[in-house]
Amino acid sequence: MNIIRKTMFLALTVTVFMSTFCQCGRNKGKQIDLDGMHVQMPDTLRVGMLNSPTTYFDYRGTPMGYDYELMSRFSKFYGLQFKVVIGGTISEMIQWLDDGKIDILASPVPVTAEFQERALLCGPRNVSNQVLVQNIDISKGSIVKDVTDLIGREVIVQNDSKYFYRMQNLNEEVGGGIKIIPLAKDTISDDDLLSMVWKGEIPMTVVDSDVAEAALSYYPGLDISVKVSLDQYSRWAVASDSYGFANALDRWFADEKENVSEVFKKYYHMSKLEFFDAPHDGLDDLKTLVFTDGRISPYDNIFKAAGKKSGLDWRLIAAIAYVESHFDADVTSWAGALGIMQVMPRTATSHGYTPQDMLDAAKCVDVAVKTLSDLNEMFEKRIKDSDERENFILASYNSGPGHILDAIALADKYGLNPCKWNDNVEAAAIMKSKPAYYRDPVVKNGYFRGTETVNFVHKVQAVYNYFKDRT
Measuring CA to CA, how many Å separate 348 from each of 9, 205, 351? 16, 41, 5
Pairing of strands 154-158, 119-128: unpaired
Q: How far is CA 98 from the centre of its chain?
A: 29
**Cβ atoms of residues 371 and 347 within 8 Å:** yes
Dist CA 155 CA 289 (whole Å): 44
The single residue of 69, 324, 390, 426 carrying the catalytic annotation is 324
Q: How would you class 272 by CB atoms within 10 Å of its CB: exposed for 0-12, middle for 13-18, buried for 19 or more? A: middle
Give the C-alpha distances (Å, rounded to integers) separating 244 from 22, 115, 249: 7, 19, 9
Our CA angle for 271, 48, 87, nearest 5°, is 90
Calpha distance 345→349 (Å, rounded)? 6
Nearest of 352, 361, 349, 355 to residue 322 by alpha carbon: 361
Distance CA 229, CA 157 (A): 15
Closest CA to 335 of 272, 398, 395: 272
Closest CA to 438 of 5, 56, 102: 56
Length of the chain equals 471
Contact call for residues 320 and 368 (beta carbons, < 8 A): yes
Is 324 considered catalytic here? yes
Give the sheet arrangement for strand 130-135, strand by strand.
Answer: 179-183, 154-158, 204-208, 130-135, 222-227
Question: Are the CB atoms for 314 and 303 separated by under 8 Å?
Answer: yes
Asked if 104 and 26 count as a contact pair (C-beta separation under 8 A), the reply is no
- Active site amino acids: 324
